[in-house]
Structure 1
Amino acid sequence: MLSVRLLGSFAVEVDGRPVPAGAWERRDASGLVKLLALRPERRLHREQVMDLMWPELGVSEAAPRLHKAAHYARRALGCADALVLRDDVVALLPGGPVTVDADDFERAAAEALANGMPGTAAAVLDRFPGEPLPDDAYAEWADEARDRLTVLRRRLLRQAGRWEQLLELDPLDEEAAVRQMRRLVRAGDRAGALETFARLDRALRRLLGTGPGPAATRLRDELAGALRERGRLSPADEGRLRQEIRFCRSADGVTLAYASSGNGPPLVKAAHWMTHLDHDWNSPVWHHWLVELSRRFRLIRYDERGCGLSDRDIPRPGFEDWIRDLEAVVDAAGLERFPLFGMSQGVAVAITYAARHPERVSKLVLCGGYLQGQLARAVTEEQRREQGLEIEMVRLGWGRDHPGFRQVFTSQFMPQGSRELWDAFNELQRTTTSSENAARVLELAGSIDVVATTALVRAPALVLHAREDSAVPFAQGRWTASQLPNSRFLALDSPNHILLADEPAWPVFLREVETFLAE
């Protein structure tokens, strides 16, 4: 007797004996068992098996793969008759009983849905807690069964009123989000309800390019109003629910987009590699940065020329253009004196602006930056060629559908990022600008050299740098701090150029910045 589990982690029992997970040394072997277990008769014609499992191969190439998969499956199951190829048919334990949890789930789900009671649906979900075929998310042979089982699971979650779990499966489900918001309100967690709305808003804008509908928006406004009346919605919390995007012109007539969020003391953020004011606001890459800084400050940030919502059809930019763009934004925002925050290439821009406008910059916060770009600090021909290859790769591959070209930068910026974060950053880079503009930015950033400018900076500076930063060497952060006349240096325990929301270095960064700017 065979018992096969397809919901949650794949597992098989033979006559009550569990097959060790390590026995499935070949993915094709476990895939073949799963494919046959999904069929009511536990069998398929060999050509159907080959078409489903290896659709890109011809019969002459797929047939040996099938025989190998069957061999390793039998070896894992420890039974020569457990998987049989005979008369052009591939069968799982022919003549013997095979039970599959997915079949039991479908029968129980059908009964629960016909019953219509929340408790009955909840009982089925508790009995079968696993997602269908989680290890085969990209296997075409599993698509039909996985979709069918997932639809059943969603219907049960809806009947059981398990809105939070339903949103985990489908973050775009607006009805589930509204129901979850109302549940949290009844439980007294209005802030949690607002956060549910924020997650829905981010998902809709990132994946569909639209915002929540009137029902969710109306409930969000009611919640914000109730918290405001009770004095539990601070100005910073209120400000972080939205950002205001405006436009100004730089000295040479280029239109620049800038945004303001939060209601605290001002903090200006110099532009850096690839931003998009609207997309960033809803991106899991940057959302925690923007929310937490807006909670504490009135955050002013902008898209550099050629990127995001700023003019993209522009002549080749120079470093002086970047300085003039920052000058235009702070003037348009009506700021007289303010702290200035620079990240990555924005560090050099912030240092240069502070040196030229000492009367306007109260303090500098510099994170993950450098005084000399990659080309400017190159000492070997190999290092110079590496910079040239990166620029050429951007020109050739940036706009293609395949994200592999952009992944080179993503893996440097967030080596500890999840697949979701990597995909989001890849998409952000593609959305932000053209391949030619991206190459120009990279080329210009590589030639930066502001070493001589540091001596002119009067503002106190806090310099932070991740110890294992893969994008900008740690030595550059240390050198930056050593060259500024009045600076404090803090090493962050992280390999990420862009700090992640769930890593220990992130709250350290926030605490140190807030303390420094409050002094």
Structure 2
Amino acid sequence: MSERLQIDLINEVSVRVAEHSVPLVSSRKTVALMAYLALTGQPHRREHLCELFFPDTNDPKGSLRWSLTKLRQALNTHDACLQTPGATVLIDTDLIELDVHYVQAVHDAAAPSGVDLLRAAELLSFKPLMGLELARNDDYGLWLMGEREQLHSLRPRIFQTLVTTDGVSDQDAVKWLRRWLRLDPYSHEAPRLLSQKLIDLGLQDEAAKVTRDYAALMGDDAVRVTRRVPPEPVRARQSIGFCNASDGVKIAYATVGSGPPLVKAANWLNHLELDWESPIWADMFRALAADHTFVRYDERGNGLSDWDVPEISFPAFLEDLETVVDHLGLTRFPLLGLSQGCAVSIEYSVRHPEKVSAMILIGGYAAGWRIGLSPEECEQREAVLTLTRHGWGTSNPAYRHIFSQTFMPNADSERLAWFDDFQRRTTSPQNAVRFQEAFGDIDIRHLLPEVQVPTLVIHARDDQRIPLRCGRELAANIPNAELVTLESQSHIILGDEPAWQVCMNEISRFLAKHASADGQN
């Protein structure tokens, strides 16, 4: 009997037999079709598949036939996994090994082995089913979100069983509990178990901090942790929608929370689903959504927005922000910019001062690297562009690690690995180059004196990505701007850095002082 085909979908889409990789066509829709057939494990009418995957093509039946031909070439070299009886299509799941089924089986097992628990926990340590998004297929997108939620629901039992398994040291248990808490910050069991494990190790101060952080996040419900009463899971849910820019590019946006709107301009790189539950930005985003209707979007060329776009440029970035604001009917709001999103925010505020009640600029600059950096630094950036062209999309993270280290020089290996993988999955190699080139040409220095809105500039003193002098330039030339310098080396301030709490306190203070009371949409 031949080896069964292994299809992996959770972290990185791949097909292999034994240890030999099976090449897949680069078509995103074809790969998504394979995932849909494998995960559903049942026959589907061709008409249904055409409607789900090819609604915007001139010849959906022809597109489906082409995709099925490519899938047969990849999947049917050993067994007839892909079958097309009559007018239906299916992947026979009895002939394949699927990582999603493996994780589900580990979850359902009465006494799973430590090895299986460890592998399942590793698989669930990243955002599942990445690389399967299709920007123009809303029905498929809803199905994909449901599959992700199903995988999310497996985490608690797998992680909890793992940390109580014989052979797992207290130190390893703490590592896994911290990871679980980062992945599911609204979990009730993760902070309770982590706090208890830290106490067992004699780390009372750390245990107390876990409890305080949880109490601050959950409010009155946190008392249930000390009473050991497991309530129903609480999770803030964001709503994702799409709108069209003037050139037809589809822009994805998300809203979450309640209260007056707070709009965040896009930055390098974004993905609405990954960002929201990431170990990098989740702390900040959830804090901002606690008191506002927090609005984010993926600018063109990355995330859930269209990738195949005619233009990636600063004017296009500005139009993406205008498109989302106009689509949502926002009339007045504070505007948050991170990194190059600061330049977009500044120009938007100059063009639309009646809409922007206040502006917060974190780690920003007015002149791109081709203009604002030294010849030596520009030469380094050009070298990075060459590396990006040739290595961005590979499985080797070294190319993307160049960025990760400068964004978060003191991050632990887990978060650096997450950011490496996040960047690869969030945009194509070609677009990664186009973004960097567009950032290099930004120049809004002439607009700084024209800013009319209250502005807070926040910058890390030893930012390894954007020097402090860039933040000082913004504060010095924007009328009446405030400057706050953070004691950090990070371009992305992480939630466990002391500087993060300083940053969030300053944002809260500034918004309370300046955000307009009439900021309703």
TM bracket (short chain) = 0.5 to 0.7
Q: Residue in 1 aligned with 2:510?
A: 516
Q: Residue in 2 aligned with 1:142?
A: none
- 1:339 aligned onto 2:346: no
Question: Displacement, 1:428?
Answer: 0.8
**1:307 alignment partner AA:** N
Question: Displacement, 1:385?
Answer: 2.3
The answer on whether the counterparts of 2:461 and 2:488 sit within 8 Å (CA) in structure 1 is yes
The answer on whether the counterparts of 1:157 and 1:163 sit within 8 Å (CA) in structure 2 is no
Matches within 5 A, 1:225-240: none
d(CA) in 2 for partners of 1:182, 1:462 = 34
- 1:252 aligned onto 2:220: no
Task: Evaluate the alpha carbon distance shift between residue 223 and residue 272 of structure 1 in structure 2; reply closer, same or farther with a 3 A threshold.
Answer: closer
1:296 aligned residue (250, 273, 291): 291
1:315 aligned residue (300, 310, 314): 310
The DSSP-based 3-state class of the residue aligned with 1:509 is helix
Choose 153-162 or 425-434, whichever is displaced more.
153-162
Choose 431-440 or 155-164, whichever is displaced more.
155-164
Q: Residue in 2 aligned with 1:447?
A: 441
Q: Residue in 2 aligned with 1:489?
A: 483
TM-score, structure 2 normalization: 0.57
Q: Residue in 1 aligned with 2:152?
A: none
The answer on whether the counterparts of 1:163 and 1:180 sit within 8 Å (CA) in structure 2 is no
Q: Which has the higher contact order (CA 8 A, sep 6+)?
A: 2
- 1:365 aligned onto 2:397: no
The answer on whether the counterparts of 1:465 and 1:490 sit within 8 Å (CA) in structure 2 is yes
1:276 aligned residue (271, 277, 286): 271
2:164 aligned residue (154, 157, 167): 157
The answer on whether the counterparts of 1:387 and 1:446 sit within 8 Å (CA) in structure 2 is no
d(CA) in 1 for partners of 2:320, 2:289 = 22
Question: Displacement, 1:296?
Answer: 2.7
Which consecutive unaligned segments of at least 5 residues does structure 1 have? 1-130, 132-150, 199-218, 225-239
1:415 aligned residue (406, 409, 418): 409
d(CA) in 2 for partners of 1:263, 1:288 = 17
1:475 aligned residue (463, 469, 491): 469
Which consecutive unaligned segments of at least 5 residues does structure 2 have? 1-117, 119-157, 197-209, 218-228, 514-521
Deviations 1:383-402 (A, max 9, x none): 43222212111111111101
Choose 153-162 or 326-335, whichever is displaced more.
153-162
The DSSP-based 3-state class of the residue aligned with 1:375 is helix
Deviations 1:469-501 (A, max 9, x none): 000010000011111112111111110000011
Question: Displacement, 1:221?
Answer: 8.1
Q: Residue in 2 aligned with 1:9?
A: none
The answer on whether the counterparts of 2:332 and 2:357 sit within 8 Å (CA) in structure 1 is yes
The answer on whether the counterparts of 1:157 and 1:165 sit within 8 Å (CA) in structure 2 is no
**1:440 alignment partner AA:** R
The answer on whether the counterparts of 1:355 and 1:458 sit within 8 Å (CA) in structure 2 is yes
- 1:430 aligned onto 2:430: no
The DSSP-based 3-state class of the residue aligned with 1:283 is coil
The DSSP-based 3-state class of the residue aligned with 1:296 is coil
d(CA) in 2 for partners of 1:448, 1:465 = 19
**1:272 alignment partner AA:** N
Runs of 4+ in 1 over 4 A off after TM superposition: 153-156, 158-174, 181-184
The DSSP-based 3-state class of the residue aligned with 2:164 is helix
d(CA) in 1 for partners of 2:313, 2:401 = 26
Matches within 5 A, 1:23-422: 157-158=164-165, 168-169=175-176, 180=189, 222=232, 224=234, 241-380=236-375, 382-422=376-416
Question: Displacement, 1:338?
Answer: 0.5
Identity %: 40
Task: Evaluate the alpha carbon distance shift between residue 299 and residue 220 of structure 1 in structure 2; reply closer, same or farther with a 3 A threshold.
Answer: farther
Task: Evaluate the alpha carbon distance shift between residue 220 and residue 258 of structure 1 in structure 2; reply closer, same or farther with a 3 A threshold.
Answer: farther
The answer on whether the counterparts of 1:304 and 1:310 sit within 8 Å (CA) in structure 2 is yes
Task: Evaluate the alpha carbon distance shift between residue 467 and residue 354 of structure 1 in structure 2; reply closer, same or farther with a 3 A threshold.
Answer: same
d(CA) in 1 for partners of 2:332, 2:457 = 20
Deviations 1:265-324 (A, max 9, x none): 211000000111011112101111111111132110110100000000112312111111
Task: Evaluate the alpha carbon distance shift between residue 388 and residue 263 of structure 1 in structure 2; reply closer, same or farther with a 3 A threshold.
Answer: same
Question: Displacement, 1:251?
Answer: 1.5
Matches within 5 A, 1:453-472: 453-472=447-466
Choose 456-465 or 389-398, whichever is displaced more.
389-398
The answer on whether the counterparts of 2:163 and 2:176 sit within 8 Å (CA) in structure 1 is no
How big is the alpha-carbon RMSD for the aligned residues of Structure 1 and Structure 2? 3.6
Task: Evaluate the alpha carbon distance shift between residue 293 and residue 163 of structure 1 in structure 2; reply closer, same or farther with a 3 A threshold.
Answer: farther
Question: Displacement, 1:159?
Answer: 8.2
TM-score, structure 1 normalization: 0.57
Larger Rg: 1
Task: Evaluate the alpha carbon distance shift between residue 518 and residue 183 of structure 1 in structure 2; reply closer, same or farther with a 3 A threshold.
Answer: closer
How many residues align structurally? 325
Q: Residue in 2 aligned with 1:128?
A: none
